[in-house]
Amino acid sequence: MSSIVITNPIIWADIPDIDMIRVGDAFYMVSTSMHSMPGCPIMKSINLKDWEIVNYVFDTFEDNDAHNLADGKGIYGKGSWASSLRYHNGIYYVCFSCNDMQQFYIYRTEDIENGNWERSVIKGLLHDPALLFDEDRVFVFSGNGNIYITELTADASEIKPDGIRQLLLEGERDGIGLRIEGCHAYKLNGYYYLFFIDWPQTGHGRRRELCYRSKELLGPYEYKVMLDDDLGYHNKGVAQGGIIDTPSGEWYAFLFQDHDAVGRIPCILPMTWQDGWPVIEGGGKTPVSFEANLPESSFQPIVISDEFDYEENKLALNWQWNHNPDNSRWSVTARPGYLRLETGQITDRVVLARNTLTQRTEGPACSGTAVLDVSHMKAGDHAGLVALQSQYGTVGIQAEDNGELYVVMGMNGGDGSMETVERTPYVGNQIYVKIDFDFRDSIDLAHFHYSADGSEWTPIGRPLQMKYTLDHFMGYRIGLFNYAAKQSGGYVDFDFFRYTKKA
């Protein structure tokens, strides 16, 4: 087998709270998806470097006003958090907590790439869970600072009535801002290993990765700092994750790093074992690149262009809706070769508009372009592209009562409503819109443009200073939107979405 070069980050996009497993020669990864639907993306790789989306755990997981963006707030910053992925006796398991529902969800399937998932729901939160199969017993480790162990039934469908459920260990308190959380659990070579992050207020003052171990399930546990490094990037600690082995017996740690507006990006680090402890190679530093004894592969990128040429009303896996979609009001078959977005509920801002269709953005820079047929908009409709986070920015068309059209660049006005930054008359039934994203060295600026022909572009408004804020807790996405401010039933047809990743 020839070696490959792995460069960190392996994906310069928002793939947070990652968990990985290996089954045979295939690696699978799951990550947090919060308010994006479908959710809990399953990604596949054969070399830990090249990943593609192969499935989702659920299309939607609750049907209520908050998940449907009908309560005036949505589930931003909530939804599905920090999934744990495991494989045991021919069954794949994913579990996570949902803050807005105050519930713990466990999904099971025999076919991780193509199968449907059966779910169980447990009342109450098991924060940042780690699922562990220990022979014929099943445990979840959870918590922040105080770490608890909860025993589940053998099929991992409910809490075992007479099983273990207790405080397991307490993380350090002195000089610690964020105490241990984000557990990943393993049983290897006679030890139980629990991996956590914490965030000291002393020393480097950044997130770091800890490893706890014990030969007994219930402890006592000892720990060591496994990694305290920022990959040379603004003191942003590379931390939170676990470990994985390859078919040839090499070991790697998988962690992620806060990268400001683009989100939380995953990294792979080579590791070895010393005296029963996992140790990052190279003196405990995150390598920019290294060789690995893994094969080259072909793969589908995480973010794609789309001409919307579909034979059935089903989108590529790269797309996710902002909250639950209204499936009666979108189509890629009503007009072949186009994505049709029809307006539904009335709103005055894109963050409360249903059927906004999104993909991630990527660093160091990227650009997304769409062309819209706007001839069927109704008065009050607003359609275009959005740079989506709490501090959002839009470029698109607004239709007025007299039938006139205006190109509008807008952004969050501070209370979530849209502030119109620039507005100019537009004549024509078709318009091209574009957003350029610049994440280099966390400059985090988005620039907005429009065009009548797709070749001569006019800047509009002002650059958006993108900010990663915890009320959304997600890196910036680019989205296609159409919402009604006055009356429902209008629609726009997107001819294509074209995406470019830039160096």
Active site residues: 17, 181
Pairwise CA distance, residues 444 & 446, whole Å: 7
Q: Say how many Å lie between the first and final Cα of the chain, rounded.
A: 30
Counted residue by residue, the chain has a size of 503
Pairwise CA distance, residues 387 & 395, whole Å: 9
The maximal CA–CA distance of the chain, rounded, in angstroms, is 77
- List of long-range contacts for 404-411, beta carbons under 8 Å, 24+ apart: 405/374, 405/377, 407/431, 407/450, 407/460, 408/382, 408/384, 409/448, 409/460, 409/461, 409/462, 410/461, 411/461, 411/464
Beta bridge partners of 107: 94, 119
Q: Are 397 and 405 in contact (CB under 8 A)?
A: yes
Pairwise CA distance, residues 75 & 268, whole Å: 31
Over the Cα atoms of the chain, what is R_g? 23
What sign does the CA torsion over 32, 33, 34, 38 have? negative
| Token pair for 252 | 């790697």
Q: Are 263 and 472 in contact (CB under 8 A)?
A: no
Prior bond to 200 cis, omega within 30? no
Q: Are 267 and 238 in contact (CB under 8 A)?
A: yes
Neighbours of 436 (CB within 10 A): 20
Pairwise CA distance, residues 318 & 300, whole Å: 9
Distances from the Cα of 388 to the Cαs of 1, 383, 385, 500, in angstroms?
A: 42, 14, 9, 18
**245-264 in b/e burial notation, b at 16+ Cβ within 10 A?**
ebeeeebbbbbbbbbbbbbb
Q: Parallel, antiparallel, or unpaired for β 289-292 and 277-280? A: unpaired
Pairwise CA distance, residues 150 & 141, whole Å: 7
Nearest of 120, 109, 206 to residue 159 by alpha carbon: 120
Pairwise CA distance, residues 106 & 158, whole Å: 9
